[in-house]
Structure 1
Amino acid sequence: MKLDAFYLIVDSAAWIERLVPLGVKLVQLRIKTMDEAGLRAEIRKAKALCAQHHCQLIVNDHWRLAIEEGCDFVHLGQEDLQTADRSRIRVAGVRLGLSTHDDIELETAMAAAPDYIALGPIYPTILKKMKWAPQGLERISEWKRRVAPVPLVAIGGLNPDRLDGVFAAGADCAAVVTDITLNDDPEARTREWIEKIDRWR
Protein backbone atom coordinates (compact mmCIF):
# COMPACT_ATOMS: atom_id res chain seq x y z
CA MET A 1 0.00 0.00 0.00
CA LYS A 2 1.29 3.44 -0.96
CA LEU A 3 0.85 6.34 1.43
CA ASP A 4 1.32 9.86 0.19
CA ALA A 5 4.53 11.34 1.57
CA PHE A 6 2.72 14.38 3.03
CA TYR A 7 0.39 13.61 5.94
CA LEU A 8 -1.59 16.56 7.32
CA ILE A 9 -3.32 16.26 10.71
CA VAL A 10 -6.08 18.73 11.61
CA ASP A 11 -8.88 19.01 14.17
CA SER A 12 -11.81 20.10 12.03
CA ALA A 13 -13.46 19.76 8.65
CA ALA A 14 -13.01 23.53 8.32
CA TRP A 15 -9.22 23.01 8.15
CA ILE A 16 -9.74 20.33 5.51
CA GLU A 17 -11.86 22.76 3.50
CA ARG A 18 -9.04 25.33 3.66
CA LEU A 19 -6.00 23.16 3.04
CA VAL A 20 -6.90 20.01 1.10
CA PRO A 21 -7.70 21.95 -2.12
CA LEU A 22 -4.05 23.11 -2.14
CA GLY A 23 -2.94 19.59 -3.08
CA VAL A 24 -3.07 17.58 0.16
CA LYS A 25 -3.66 13.88 -0.63
CA LEU A 26 -3.61 12.40 2.89
CA VAL A 27 -5.28 14.01 5.91
CA GLN A 28 -6.19 12.89 9.41
CA LEU A 29 -9.20 14.29 11.23
CA ARG A 30 -8.14 14.28 14.88
CA ILE A 31 -10.94 15.46 17.16
CA LYS A 32 -10.50 14.57 20.81
CA THR A 33 -13.59 15.98 22.53
CA MET A 34 -16.94 16.23 20.76
CA ASP A 35 -20.30 14.48 21.06
CA GLU A 36 -21.11 11.70 18.62
CA ALA A 37 -23.53 13.73 16.50
CA GLY A 38 -20.94 16.48 16.09
CA LEU A 39 -18.21 13.98 15.27
CA ARG A 40 -20.35 12.26 12.68
CA ALA A 41 -21.16 15.58 11.03
CA GLU A 42 -17.46 16.53 10.95
CA ILE A 43 -16.48 13.14 9.49
CA ARG A 44 -19.18 13.36 6.81
CA LYS A 45 -18.14 16.85 5.79
CA ALA A 46 -14.45 15.87 5.79
CA LYS A 47 -15.16 12.74 3.75
CA ALA A 48 -17.12 14.68 1.13
CA LEU A 49 -14.37 17.29 0.82
CA CYS A 50 -11.68 14.61 0.54
CA ALA A 51 -13.63 12.73 -2.14
CA GLN A 52 -13.97 15.95 -4.12
CA HIS A 53 -10.19 16.48 -4.06
CA HIS A 54 -9.01 12.83 -4.35
CA CYS A 55 -7.59 12.91 -0.83
CA GLN A 56 -7.51 9.95 1.58
CA LEU A 57 -9.18 10.61 4.93
CA ILE A 58 -7.90 9.07 8.16
CA VAL A 59 -10.12 9.25 11.23
CA ASN A 60 -8.28 9.35 14.56
CA ASP A 61 -9.53 7.09 17.38
CA HIS A 62 -13.21 6.84 16.44
CA TRP A 63 -13.10 3.48 14.70
CA ARG A 64 -16.82 2.72 15.01
CA LEU A 65 -17.75 5.97 13.30
CA ALA A 66 -15.04 5.40 10.68
CA ILE A 67 -16.66 2.04 9.85
CA GLU A 68 -20.20 3.42 9.84
CA GLU A 69 -19.25 6.35 7.63
CA GLY A 70 -17.24 4.21 5.18
CA CYS A 71 -13.89 5.92 5.75
CA ASP A 72 -10.60 4.80 4.19
CA PHE A 73 -8.51 4.67 7.34
CA VAL A 74 -8.57 4.79 11.10
CA HIS A 75 -5.55 5.75 13.21
CA LEU A 76 -5.25 4.37 16.72
CA GLY A 77 -2.94 5.06 19.61
CA GLN A 78 -1.74 2.18 21.77
CA GLU A 79 -4.51 2.56 24.36
CA ASP A 80 -7.22 2.68 21.70
CA LEU A 81 -5.72 -0.39 20.04
CA GLN A 82 -6.36 -2.41 23.21
CA THR A 83 -10.09 -1.71 23.12
CA ALA A 84 -10.75 -1.56 19.36
CA ASP A 85 -12.38 -4.47 17.55
CA ARG A 86 -9.68 -5.11 14.95
CA SER A 87 -11.66 -7.83 13.21
CA ARG A 88 -14.59 -5.45 12.67
CA ILE A 89 -12.21 -2.84 11.30
CA ARG A 90 -10.72 -5.39 8.88
CA VAL A 91 -14.07 -6.85 7.77
CA ALA A 92 -15.26 -3.31 7.01
CA GLY A 93 -12.22 -2.79 4.77
CA VAL A 94 -10.98 0.14 6.83
CA ARG A 95 -7.20 0.37 6.85
CA LEU A 96 -5.33 0.76 10.11
CA GLY A 97 -2.52 3.09 11.18
CA LEU A 98 -0.87 2.80 14.60
CA SER A 99 1.28 5.06 16.77
CA THR A 100 4.51 3.77 18.31
CA HIS A 101 7.07 5.33 20.64
CA ASP A 102 9.19 2.45 21.96
CA ASP A 103 10.13 -1.20 21.35
CA ILE A 104 7.21 -2.70 23.25
CA GLU A 105 4.71 -0.53 21.41
CA LEU A 106 6.29 -1.45 18.09
CA GLU A 107 5.95 -5.18 18.85
CA THR A 108 2.31 -4.68 19.86
CA ALA A 109 1.61 -2.64 16.74
CA MET A 110 3.25 -5.07 14.32
CA ALA A 111 1.27 -7.96 15.82
CA ALA A 112 -1.89 -6.10 14.75
CA ALA A 113 -0.77 -6.18 11.08
CA PRO A 114 -1.21 -2.44 10.48
CA ASP A 115 -1.25 -0.68 7.12
CA TYR A 116 1.26 1.87 8.40
CA ILE A 117 3.30 2.55 11.54
CA ALA A 118 3.88 6.05 12.95
CA LEU A 119 6.99 6.88 15.01
CA GLY A 120 7.27 9.96 17.16
CA PRO A 121 8.13 12.42 18.35
CA ILE A 122 11.13 12.75 16.03
CA TYR A 123 11.94 16.23 17.38
CA PRO A 124 10.59 18.12 20.40
CA THR A 125 6.90 18.86 19.88
CA ILE A 126 4.45 21.32 21.40
CA LEU A 127 1.34 19.37 20.36
CA LYS A 128 1.05 17.38 23.56
CA LYS A 129 3.11 16.41 26.59
CA MET A 130 5.17 13.35 25.77
CA LYS A 131 6.78 10.94 28.20
CA TRP A 132 9.17 9.96 25.40
CA ALA A 133 12.30 11.90 24.51
CA PRO A 134 12.69 12.94 20.88
CA GLN A 135 13.45 9.83 18.82
CA GLY A 136 15.90 11.40 16.36
CA LEU A 137 16.77 10.38 12.82
CA GLU A 138 18.67 7.20 13.74
CA ARG A 139 15.51 5.75 15.28
CA ILE A 140 13.72 6.31 11.96
CA SER A 141 16.32 4.16 10.20
CA GLU A 142 16.03 1.46 12.89
CA TRP A 143 12.22 1.45 12.76
CA LYS A 144 12.25 1.30 8.95
CA ARG A 145 14.42 -1.82 9.03
CA ARG A 146 12.02 -3.42 11.49
CA VAL A 147 8.69 -2.52 9.88
CA ALA A 148 9.45 -2.75 6.15
CA PRO A 149 7.59 -3.20 3.87
CA VAL A 150 4.93 -1.51 6.06
CA PRO A 151 5.06 2.26 5.41
CA LEU A 152 6.67 4.35 8.15
CA VAL A 153 5.28 7.75 9.14
CA ALA A 154 7.52 10.21 11.01
CA ILE A 155 5.76 12.70 13.29
CA GLY A 156 6.69 15.30 15.89
CA GLY A 157 8.41 18.66 15.53
CA LEU A 158 8.74 18.44 11.76
CA ASN A 159 9.06 21.44 9.46
CA PRO A 160 10.15 21.87 5.84
CA ASP A 161 13.84 22.28 6.80
CA ARG A 162 13.83 18.90 8.57
CA LEU A 163 12.20 16.90 5.77
CA ASP A 164 15.36 16.01 3.86
CA GLY A 165 16.83 14.36 6.96
CA VAL A 166 13.61 12.52 7.78
CA PHE A 167 13.22 11.04 4.29
CA ALA A 168 16.93 10.27 3.93
CA ALA A 169 16.70 8.32 7.22
CA GLY A 170 14.02 6.09 5.72
CA ALA A 171 10.61 7.58 6.50
CA ASP A 172 8.00 7.04 3.79
CA CYS A 173 5.78 9.83 4.99
CA ALA A 174 6.05 12.99 7.13
CA ALA A 175 3.16 14.07 9.35
CA VAL A 176 2.52 17.63 10.46
CA VAL A 177 0.16 19.40 12.83
CA THR A 178 1.28 22.61 14.52
CA ASP A 179 3.90 23.74 11.99
CA ILE A 180 0.97 24.39 9.66
CA THR A 181 -2.03 25.03 11.92
CA LEU A 182 -0.19 27.51 14.15
CA ASN A 183 1.54 29.25 11.25
CA ASP A 184 0.61 32.86 10.46
CA ASP A 185 -0.20 31.75 6.91
CA PRO A 186 -1.26 28.07 6.97
CA GLU A 187 -1.99 28.03 3.23
CA ALA A 188 1.48 29.29 2.31
CA ARG A 189 3.08 26.88 4.78
CA THR A 190 1.11 23.96 3.30
CA ARG A 191 2.34 24.88 -0.19
CA GLU A 192 5.90 25.03 1.17
CA TRP A 193 5.57 21.52 2.61
CA ILE A 194 4.15 20.13 -0.63
CA GLU A 195 6.87 21.79 -2.71
CA LYS A 196 9.60 20.34 -0.46
CA ILE A 197 8.07 16.87 -0.36
CA ASP A 198 7.58 16.79 -4.13
CA ARG A 199 11.37 16.34 -4.40
CA TRP A 200 11.08 13.07 -2.49
CA ARG A 201 8.05 11.63 -4.27
Structure 2
Amino acid sequence: MSLDRFYPIFDSAAWIERLVPLGIKLVQLRIKDADDQTIRTEISAAKEVCARTGTTLVINDYWQAAIDLGCDWIHLGQEDLDDADTDAIRAAGIKLGISTHDRAELSRAMALKPDYVALGPIYPTILKQMKWHEQGVEKLSKWRAEIGDTPLIAIGGMTIQRAAGAYDAGADVVSAVTDITLNADPEAQVKAWLHATRPPHSATPRGDA
Protein backbone atom coordinates (compact mmCIF):
# COMPACT_ATOMS: atom_id res chain seq x y z
CA MET A 1 0.00 0.00 0.00
CA SER A 2 1.35 3.45 -0.92
CA LEU A 3 1.55 6.43 1.39
CA ASP A 4 -1.68 8.37 1.23
CA ARG A 5 -1.41 11.96 0.04
CA PHE A 6 -3.22 13.30 3.13
CA TYR A 7 -1.47 13.02 6.51
CA PRO A 8 -3.26 14.59 9.48
CA ILE A 9 -1.59 14.78 12.89
CA PHE A 10 -3.56 14.49 16.12
CA ASP A 11 -2.54 14.78 19.77
CA SER A 12 -4.82 12.11 21.19
CA ALA A 13 -6.41 8.77 20.45
CA ALA A 14 -9.77 10.50 20.92
CA TRP A 15 -9.16 12.60 17.80
CA ILE A 16 -8.13 9.49 15.92
CA GLU A 17 -11.23 7.62 17.04
CA ARG A 18 -13.37 10.56 15.97
CA LEU A 19 -11.90 11.32 12.56
CA VAL A 20 -9.96 8.36 11.16
CA PRO A 21 -13.12 6.33 10.40
CA LEU A 22 -14.12 9.06 7.92
CA GLY A 23 -11.56 7.63 5.51
CA ILE A 24 -8.14 8.76 6.73
CA LYS A 25 -5.49 6.23 5.68
CA LEU A 26 -2.32 7.83 7.10
CA VAL A 27 -2.24 9.49 10.51
CA GLN A 28 0.27 10.55 13.13
CA LEU A 29 -0.23 10.44 16.89
CA ARG A 30 1.83 13.24 18.42
CA ILE A 31 1.50 13.43 22.20
CA LYS A 32 3.45 15.95 24.22
CA ASP A 33 4.19 16.04 27.95
CA ALA A 34 2.50 12.85 29.14
CA ASP A 35 3.64 10.09 31.48
CA ASP A 36 4.67 6.70 30.15
CA GLN A 37 1.46 4.91 31.08
CA THR A 38 -0.68 7.55 29.39
CA ILE A 39 1.47 7.39 26.29
CA ARG A 40 1.17 3.62 26.05
CA THR A 41 -2.57 3.72 26.65
CA GLU A 42 -3.00 6.35 23.94
CA ILE A 43 -0.84 4.45 21.46
CA SER A 44 -2.72 1.21 22.12
CA ALA A 45 -6.09 2.91 21.61
CA ALA A 46 -4.95 4.62 18.41
CA LYS A 47 -3.45 1.36 17.15
CA GLU A 48 -6.77 -0.43 17.62
CA VAL A 49 -8.67 2.19 15.64
CA CYS A 50 -6.13 2.17 12.83
CA ALA A 51 -6.08 -1.62 12.65
CA ARG A 52 -9.86 -1.62 12.33
CA THR A 53 -9.87 1.00 9.58
CA GLY A 54 -6.80 -0.13 7.64
CA THR A 55 -4.98 3.09 8.46
CA THR A 56 -1.21 3.54 8.70
CA LEU A 57 -0.39 4.86 12.18
CA VAL A 58 2.81 6.84 12.76
CA ILE A 59 3.96 7.40 16.35
CA ASN A 60 5.81 10.64 17.02
CA ASP A 61 8.89 10.53 19.24
CA TYR A 62 8.07 7.64 21.61
CA TRP A 63 10.13 5.03 19.81
CA GLN A 64 10.58 2.63 22.73
CA ALA A 65 6.84 2.47 23.41
CA ALA A 66 6.23 2.06 19.68
CA ILE A 67 8.63 -0.89 19.57
CA ASP A 68 7.14 -2.47 22.69
CA LEU A 69 3.59 -2.13 21.37
CA GLY A 70 4.35 -3.47 17.90
CA CYS A 71 3.84 -0.30 15.89
CA ASP A 72 4.82 -0.06 12.23
CA TRP A 73 5.98 3.56 11.88
CA ILE A 74 7.84 6.13 13.98
CA HIS A 75 8.42 9.82 13.25
CA LEU A 76 11.41 11.55 14.79
CA GLY A 77 12.33 15.20 14.92
CA GLN A 78 15.96 16.27 14.88
CA GLU A 79 16.09 16.57 18.67
CA ASP A 80 14.43 13.17 19.00
CA LEU A 81 17.24 11.69 16.90
CA ASP A 82 19.77 12.71 19.54
CA ASP A 83 18.40 10.11 21.96
CA ALA A 84 16.71 7.56 19.70
CA ASP A 85 18.21 4.11 19.09
CA THR A 86 17.74 3.96 15.34
CA ASP A 87 19.39 0.54 15.19
CA ALA A 88 16.76 -0.81 17.58
CA ILE A 89 14.01 0.84 15.54
CA ARG A 90 15.25 -0.79 12.35
CA ALA A 91 15.81 -4.14 14.09
CA ALA A 92 12.15 -4.07 15.09
CA GLY A 93 11.19 -3.67 11.43
CA ILE A 94 9.70 -0.24 11.99
CA LYS A 95 9.63 2.36 9.22
CA LEU A 96 11.05 5.78 10.03
CA GLY A 97 10.06 9.31 9.05
CA ILE A 98 12.30 12.27 9.94
CA SER A 99 11.71 16.03 10.18
CA THR A 100 14.11 18.38 8.38
CA HIS A 101 14.50 22.14 8.13
CA ASP A 102 17.89 22.81 6.53
CA ARG A 103 20.51 21.01 4.46
CA ALA A 104 22.52 19.80 7.44
CA GLU A 105 19.42 18.18 8.89
CA LEU A 106 18.53 16.72 5.51
CA SER A 107 21.98 15.15 5.21
CA ARG A 108 21.67 13.72 8.71
CA ALA A 109 18.26 12.31 7.90
CA MET A 110 19.24 10.79 4.56
CA ALA A 111 22.22 9.04 6.15
CA LEU A 112 19.67 7.01 8.11
CA LYS A 113 17.86 5.92 4.94
CA PRO A 114 14.45 7.21 6.10
CA ASP A 115 11.17 5.93 4.73
CA TYR A 116 10.06 9.54 4.34
CA VAL A 117 11.42 13.03 4.92
CA ALA A 118 9.27 15.91 6.18
CA LEU A 119 10.06 19.55 5.40
CA GLY A 120 8.52 22.42 7.30
CA PRO A 121 7.12 24.75 8.14
CA ILE A 122 6.17 25.44 4.53
CA TYR A 123 3.97 28.32 5.71
CA PRO A 124 3.81 30.12 9.07
CA THR A 125 2.28 27.89 11.72
CA ILE A 126 0.70 28.56 15.08
CA LEU A 127 1.18 24.95 16.20
CA LYS A 128 4.40 25.60 18.09
CA GLN A 129 7.21 28.09 18.43
CA MET A 130 9.96 27.31 15.95
CA LYS A 131 13.32 28.87 15.17
CA TRP A 132 12.66 28.18 11.49
CA HIS A 133 10.85 30.72 9.37
CA GLU A 134 8.53 29.57 6.64
CA GLN A 135 10.36 27.47 4.10
CA GLY A 136 8.13 28.12 1.08
CA VAL A 137 7.11 25.66 -1.60
CA GLU A 138 10.28 26.41 -3.58
CA LYS A 139 12.31 24.55 -0.97
CA LEU A 140 10.15 21.48 -1.54
CA SER A 141 11.43 21.41 -5.11
CA LYS A 142 15.03 21.57 -3.87
CA TRP A 143 14.44 18.71 -1.43
CA ARG A 144 12.69 16.73 -4.15
CA ALA A 145 15.74 16.99 -6.39
CA GLU A 146 18.05 15.81 -3.61
CA ILE A 147 16.20 12.88 -2.05
CA GLY A 148 15.33 10.85 -5.12
CA ASP A 149 12.41 8.51 -4.60
CA THR A 150 12.21 9.00 -0.83
CA PRO A 151 8.68 10.26 -0.07
CA LEU A 152 8.53 13.96 0.79
CA ILE A 153 6.04 15.38 3.30
CA ALA A 154 5.03 19.04 3.35
CA ILE A 155 4.02 20.32 6.79
CA GLY A 156 3.36 23.65 8.47
CA GLY A 157 0.49 26.02 7.84
CA MET A 158 -0.96 23.71 5.21
CA THR A 159 -4.53 24.19 4.02
CA ILE A 160 -6.56 22.60 1.26
CA GLN A 161 -6.01 25.69 -0.86
CA ARG A 162 -2.23 25.48 -0.39
CA ALA A 163 -1.96 21.72 -0.93
CA ALA A 164 -1.95 21.84 -4.73
CA GLY A 165 1.09 24.13 -4.74
CA ALA A 166 2.95 21.76 -2.41
CA TYR A 167 2.18 18.79 -4.65
CA ASP A 168 3.22 20.73 -7.73
CA ALA A 169 6.51 21.64 -6.05
CA GLY A 170 7.34 17.99 -5.41
CA ALA A 171 5.65 16.93 -2.18
CA ASP A 172 4.16 13.45 -2.20
CA VAL A 173 2.11 14.01 0.94
CA VAL A 174 0.65 17.06 2.70
CA SER A 175 0.28 17.07 6.48
CA ALA A 176 -2.36 19.10 8.31
CA VAL A 177 -2.88 19.78 11.99
CA THR A 178 -4.62 22.97 13.11
CA ASP A 179 -6.48 23.32 9.81
CA ILE A 180 -8.51 20.38 11.10
CA THR A 181 -8.42 20.51 14.89
CA LEU A 182 -9.17 24.24 15.12
CA ASN A 183 -11.88 24.09 12.46
CA ALA A 184 -15.45 24.65 13.61
CA ASP A 185 -16.43 21.40 11.86
CA PRO A 186 -13.44 19.01 11.88
CA GLU A 187 -15.45 16.21 10.27
CA ALA A 188 -16.43 18.36 7.31
CA GLN A 189 -12.85 19.61 6.97
CA VAL A 190 -11.46 16.07 6.89
CA LYS A 191 -13.98 15.12 4.21
CA ALA A 192 -12.94 18.17 2.19
CA TRP A 193 -9.27 17.18 2.51
CA LEU A 194 -10.03 13.64 1.41
CA HIS A 195 -11.95 14.89 -1.61
CA ALA A 196 -9.14 17.26 -2.57
CA THR A 197 -6.29 14.76 -2.21
CA ARG A 198 -7.72 11.51 -3.56
CA PRO A 199 -7.85 10.35 -7.19
CA PRO A 200 -8.60 11.73 -9.71
CA HIS A 201 -7.13 14.76 -7.96
CA SER A 202 -3.75 13.12 -7.26
CA ALA A 203 -1.03 11.17 -8.97
CA THR A 204 0.46 7.92 -7.73
CA PRO A 205 2.50 8.69 -4.59
CA ARG A 206 5.95 7.32 -3.86
CA GLY A 207 6.81 4.92 -1.10
CA ASP A 208 5.24 1.98 0.65
CA ALA A 209 3.45 1.99 3.96
**Deviation beyond 3 Å, 4+ runs, structure 1:** none
**How far does the alpha carbon of each residue in 1:95-139 deviate from its partner, in whole angstroms, 9 at most, with x for none?**
100000011100111111110000000001000111111111110
**1:24-43 matched pairs, under 5 angstroms:** 24-43=24-43
Is 1:102 matched up with 2:102? yes
Structure 1 residues not aligned, in runs of 5+: none
For residue 23 of structure 1, report the CA deviation from its aligned partner.
Answer: 0.4
**How far does the alpha carbon of each residue in 1:132-176 deviate from its partner, in whole angstroms, 9 at most, with x for none?**
111111100100111121000000000000111110111000001
In structure 2, C-alpha distance between the alignment counterparts of 1:89 and 1:170, rounded to whole Å: 28
CA RMSD of aligned residues (A): 0.9
In structure 2, C-alpha distance between the alignment counterparts of 1:200 and 1:171, rounded to whole Å: 11
For residue 30 of structure 1, report the CA deviation from its aligned partner.
Answer: 0.3
The residue aligned with 1:149 is 149
In structure 2, C-alpha distance between the alignment counterparts of 1:2 and 1:135, rounded to whole Å: 26
Structure 2 residues not aligned, in runs of 5+: 204-209
For residue 2 of structure 1, report the CA deviation from its aligned partner.
Answer: 2.9
Aligned residues: 201
C-alpha contact 1:120 1:156 (8 A) present in aligned 2? yes
In structure 1, C-alpha distance between the alignment counterparts of 2:123 and 2:2, rounded to whole Å: 25
**How far does the alpha carbon of each residue in 1:67-114 deviate from its partner, in whole angstroms, 9 at most, with x for none?**
001111000000111211111000101110000001110011111111
**1:24-173 matched pairs, under 5 angstroms:** 24-173=24-173
In structure 2, C-alpha distance between the alignment counterparts of 1:104 and 1:83, rounded to whole Å: 18
The residue aligned with 2:206 is none
SS in 2 for 1:2: coil
TM-score normalized with structure 1 length = 0.98
TM-score normalized with structure 2 length = 0.94
Q: Which has the higher contact order (CA 8 A, sep 6+)?
A: 2
The residue type equivalent to 2:202 in the other structure is W
The residue aligned with 2:207 is none
The residue type equivalent to 2:174 in the other structure is A
